[in-house]
Structure 1
């Protein structure tokens, strides 16, 4: 739920020959001698090291030759790595390794009568000025350095991996990398950080830690970033964030450089605000007060635009609930659909993740990255809860840190007024007339939220000026951090668009009366995976014009997706034992990658079509009706739609997760009658666009959600957050009837 720039220096985890290097000549191989050990190992590793992954191989040789002080050879290997990464991420390929490159170029120019600091600054400026704007913004992250922690890491490698006077090559490589960072980082990273601040002062005026007191005496803190080149009043780009961090200023610089004033407001309770942290609850009110303050400043021309992803995307929709006259446009990216849409619930099912996220933003006045990234810790918490059989509302206690917001959210399992008051609701969308550009992705965890706002806006405002960009992106990609490889899928080259550039062009279009971004052909712009092309249309309903219907048939225990319904009243049976918790580890390892070799086949049935003779384009949301009966009052349905490709691999297209008792109305729970035939309509699942190849099949898993990552719905009809494993009683027995069907949206040429 946050846009994070990952500076990924090729983490060489693919393959290293298992081979050992002897350290018998050293009297001491403890951590007190790590410098000599590292230098010795670097010479040995350079000769003996082998690696299948060429990018990892050259990257490691680059670091090893730095330790060996073979600087020309190190630069040669760095350029080889950059060449490999040019196609994947051109901006990153130019900047990666720069902190070491600057050091090398300084050393090569240095002699006894030259000043190191002076030459280093010259080389630093030369490199910095040749970087793209986006690279300059992320550049400070290359100089983050903790000498004490790096030394501890080296000591840990030595203690754990030097055994019987030898060390494996893979561990020697790790030690050399760490020592290289320790050595060069200790000499130059502080100097580099100071130079970045120096350059920053030359280009920008930055006001940090501004306090704005609201009408109700709440305190909000802002940062303002202005370009030294802009002397007149400017349009303002406002970023509302709960992820308080000094890096936010770096990201905002791109707007100042492009002729805007940039303002970052930290949500109530964050940064220097003494108030309580209550996520999502106050944005609608607080953002309007911030806009009131902005338009009174001498650097403001009275017009404001907003941008940001995830929580930041939600906050823009919150701002439109009571639309300020000065707010002229928003660019919500991967917007959280607060409430039952996608967070903290997915179709009224709470996720375990949301407690982790609450700790992420509530543990401190800043952002607790360390706790959030500790997957081992959080998975152990989920496992402990899952295996204990305790109610979901005990998850925070099991984590060791009770959370009032966690409990508050659990008390609103329906999409009631608590959630409705946070963002526009129903007819309130009709009053939103400003231009809007939404971005999301087929594998964005907040796609459901982003498309909810898009659909509701057009539902209540037929003349909405609202554009959509959607493609093969995950949550980060939908905010501009586009990956070339997405969980096994090699993204079409045409999908690697410069989203940041398009957003600047959008602001110029709305706030500076320039032309609309050329990329936006129609209101909806989508990339068809597997075709290397973008398409566009003007209505979300266009994707519902043509559909293929498939019935869920059981033919002699062979589960098929049939184009015609059989005359007999057959059904497919499924039994799920909620008491069985022996599968915790298996479920915690389960990941839904885009391309998979196999699919999960427990607690579900797998239905398949025949192979298609001709290719076709699947674009839109699959829908349908499930007709079933069961021996309980409720269940949580999980469906996954795949393309089984001719090569035998599964391509994940879309998933549906929803609570049966809320299928008719997310605001009111309607329990089912045991052993009575019921109908659940399938909707609010992920939109996708892909060319289905000839020879492929469509495969649908239909089952019951039972996972440490979500509440467990035992089907008693009680509040699911209060149910325990004692409520499981007999296994769930469910019959999927053969008049159940799904509909697949297809495009007819």
Structure 2
């Protein structure tokens, strides 16, 4: 095909696209249900006459069949659904056949009852039951969410009415608006007519497949109770291993879904709630009892007639923490754990490297306001943003932050009593020599952009430190906290993720459980102990340890010599001592210091109003930054403490900034997170740091490294005024004298590379 023909074809496609985009339609005259039922099918028919392939390209096939449904073109709509399934089969052939089955059954039912006098409800029920009987247990599970709107029917209707309201201000509806209205209306119609029916049919089908106990109460050894869900396949008449998830996020529908999935994979599925949640009448005290309570559940499982005495655990975030909590005094029936993005209380949140963060300030209310979760309070972003900003502007102590909000934060106030990583935190998870007794296989999963990555990796590093023979595997890639729990998303905070990085976390989890508990094959992705996706190369790398991810470490000094508008990030040790001065007015509330959070990951420009910027020479060949950067900062300050931020970027040859990693931590805890050692004003201090985010990224020839050194002062964390008092008690009145720092040019960072 020659270039001239290609250009002609592109012009024709674009002309059709532009024409379609310019099309418009009269706005809807009425928005009551009767008026809509008359008007929208007419609108759909008019849209179909002008709707072209080029318009709305990504959604065109999906929109087309819905328009055809509305315009009473059922055969065309069915053909469109089949076309989508063929297209989907290129990406996910296993479940392509299930795609849009809710629309297909709706269509086929309408075709059968048209003019026949038959009942829609009866025919839909018959068709759906027959369809479900053809599916195996796993496929049937994937069907469930297709027939029940994710956020509920009421929210689906609200979203549709909001869409209509947005078109009232104009006399005409453009093509995109018309397509959106038709799609949303068709989806609403399908669920309004089928959701209640489908729920009953799905429940009956579940009861046909499984033995379900949704109200189990398990007593702990200290007299508390934990509620649980247990699901077994009806045909399983022999003892089997159990797959256990333990969580504070109580939700019966989710619990049943997880337990049914485990049962469909050949396990007894058990989902247990933190004490105080769901059916438990005890106080809700997150983190404090998991070591005891998880083991009580494991002990109960091991004594049931359906148990073969083997339990594997899995799950993310809080569930990841709960698994590690169980290993502090490990029960003999626990044979493996698969923690994703596992939290360490006191390490990742509510504080990171001894700095209390506001990132999930509302979490306390979210999980303790009721027996389940309080989504409304958790999702009230306006309230929490106002709370942060009002506290920041007020200059009040961090201990009074909940008074700014107006609601006492009981858990936060308890946590603030423990600014060091003391016995309160240490008792919640394995600590130091506790790791030496953990001899079960472990598979950890986390992401380069997981907010809690330092927690997940701390478990791994401590496990190997105290048990060098540990069988602990890691999968890590370009995922955030939620993405790691499902295997990634194609676009992460503006970064297009390499296709090979997209995995199926749950599939790998159960391959691992089969490997450990049933003698199956090890998941194919686990070529070595550390398995990492190399961003920018579209390939996975494998190493025996984090240390062996790299074969070279470059030590860059924070030079006082300028390089354009920046300072040099130099590979040469300075010939003579020199200082780089920085002054931070901690009383200033008109600006923020330390823009460290990687969102977006790729930036056209950086905020250069504060902080110190150090840039390297361009790399002469491609290299891979592979591991966790670290360093030693040397400084003389006029106060007793400071909170430090260090951000590491790749500066691409085109000038774009790609954030690789960052560090946030309190100087007085740099050498021991459990013991605070204040700095001496006027004396040169050495401040080591290492708990940064691990990353793997291929840098092109001509790329450079940029280090941004700053002091943390913003609404997103405590403000350390440097008096030496408990930082939670300091106020803006302690900021009379600005923080003055003389950073030594003998300070350095160490970057691990793979060449």
What is the TM-score of this pair, normalised by structure 2?
0.89
Residue 117 of structure 1 deviates from its aligned partner by 3.4
Tell me: CA distance 1:41–1:412, structure 2 relative to 1, closer, same or farther (3 Å).
farther
Q: Which moved more, 1:538-547 or 1:206-215?
A: 538-547
Gaps in structure 2 of 5+ consecutive residues: 1-19
Name which of 98, 109, 113 aligns with 2:101: 98
Q: Which moved more, 1:59-68 or 1:319-328?
A: 59-68
2:532 is the counterpart of 1:526: yes
Distance in 1 of aligned mates of 2:670 and 2:575 = 28
2:26 is the counterpart of 1:22: yes
Name which of 378, 388, 396 aligns with 1:372: 378
Contact 1:349 1:711 in 2 (8 A): yes
2:566 is the counterpart of 1:562: no
Matched with 1:108 is: 111
Q: How does 1:197-208 map to 2 (within 5 A)?
A: 197-208=203-214
Matched with 2:362 is: 356
Residue aligned with 1:262, SS: strand
Matched with 2:4 is: none
Tell me: CA distance 1:132–1:57, structure 2 relative to 1, closer, same or farther (3 Å).
farther
2:495 is the counterpart of 1:489: yes
Distance in 1 of aligned mates of 2:382 and 2:366 = 15
Structural RMSD (CA)? 3.0
Residue aligned with 2:190, SS: helix
Name which of 578, 584, 597 aligns with 1:576: 584
Residue 178 of structure 1 deviates from its aligned partner by 3.6
2:673 is the counterpart of 1:647: no
Residue aligned with 2:360, SS: helix
2:267 is the counterpart of 1:260: yes
Count of residues in Structure 1 that have an aligned counterpart in Structure 2: 729
Residue aligned with 2:362, SS: helix
Matched with 1:7 is: none
Contact 1:29 1:37 in 2 (8 A): no
Residue aligned with 2:217, SS: strand
Name which of 209, 219, 226 aligns with 2:215: 209
Contact 1:574 1:603 in 2 (8 A): no
2:244 is the counterpart of 1:241: no
Matched with 2:610 is: 603
Residue aligned with 1:308, SS: strand
Residue aligned with 1:269, SS: coil
Tell me: CA distance 1:156–1:433, structure 2 relative to 1, closer, same or farther (3 Å).
closer
Tell me: CA distance 1:573–1:72, structure 2 relative to 1, closer, same or farther (3 Å).
farther
Residue aligned with 2:350, SS: strand
Q: Which moved more, 1:71-80 or 1:247-256?
A: 71-80
2:147 is the counterpart of 1:143: yes
Residue aligned with 1:517, SS: coil
Distance in 2 of aligned mates of 1:577 and 1:407 = 28
Matched with 2:672 is: 665
Distance in 2 of aligned mates of 1:221 and 1:687 = 37
Name which of 685, 693, 700 aligns with 1:693: 700
Tell me: CA distance 1:414–1:230, structure 2 relative to 1, closer, same or farther (3 Å).
same
Residue aligned with 1:354, SS: coil
2:196 is the counterpart of 1:193: no
Residue aligned with 1:182, SS: helix
Matched with 1:403 is: 409
Distance in 2 of aligned mates of 1:232 and 1:442 = 42
Residue 743 of structure 1 deviates from its aligned partner by 0.9
Matched with 2:3 is: none
Distance in 2 of aligned mates of 1:36 and 1:210 = 50
Question: What CA deviation, in whole Å up to 9, does each residue of 1:297-343 have, x standing for no partner?
Answer: 1111112111111110110110011111111111111110221x211
Contact 1:35 1:179 in 2 (8 A): no
Distance in 2 of aligned mates of 1:527 and 1:337 = 24
Residue 547 of structure 1 deviates from its aligned partner by 0.4
Residue 57 of structure 1 deviates from its aligned partner by 4.2
Tell me: CA distance 1:740–1:168, structure 2 relative to 1, closer, same or farther (3 Å).
same
2:70 is the counterpart of 1:70: no
Matched with 1:615 is: 622
Residue 185 of structure 1 deviates from its aligned partner by 1.4
Contact 1:102 1:127 in 2 (8 A): no
Contact 1:62 1:73 in 2 (8 A): yes
Q: Which moved more, 1:557-566 or 1:657-666?
A: 557-566
Gaps in structure 1 of 5+ consecutive residues: 1-15
Distance in 2 of aligned mates of 1:80 and 1:369 = 38
Distance in 2 of aligned mates of 1:589 and 1:610 = 23
Contact 1:573 1:733 in 2 (8 A): yes
Distance in 2 of aligned mates of 1:693 and 1:312 = 38
Distance in 2 of aligned mates of 1:74 and 1:167 = 24
Contact 1:88 1:484 in 2 (8 A): no
Tell me: CA distance 1:679–1:65, structure 2 relative to 1, closer, same or farther (3 Å).
farther
Q: Which moved more, 1:432-441 or 1:147-156?
A: 147-156
Tell me: CA distance 1:129–1:716, structure 2 relative to 1, closer, same or farther (3 Å).
farther
Residue aligned with 1:355, SS: coil
Name which of 118, 121, 127 aligns with 1:117: 121
Matched with 1:733 is: 740
Distance in 2 of aligned mates of 1:268 and 1:99 = 38
2:288 is the counterpart of 1:270: no
Contact 1:351 1:711 in 2 (8 A): yes
Contact 2:547 2:627 in 1 (8 A): no
What is the TM-score of this pair, normalised by structure 1?
0.90
Tell me: CA distance 1:37–1:727, structure 2 relative to 1, closer, same or farther (3 Å).
farther
Q: Which moved more, 1:497-506 or 1:691-700?
A: 497-506
Question: What CA deviation, in whole Å up to 9, does each residue of 1:414-435 have, x standing for no partner?
Answer: 1000000001111111111111
Matched with 1:502 is: 508
Question: What CA deviation, in whole Å up to 9, does each residue of 1:251-277 have, x standing for no partner?
Answer: 222221222111111000111111111
Distance in 2 of aligned mates of 1:86 and 1:601 = 48
Residue 701 of structure 1 deviates from its aligned partner by 1.3
Residue 544 of structure 1 deviates from its aligned partner by 6.3
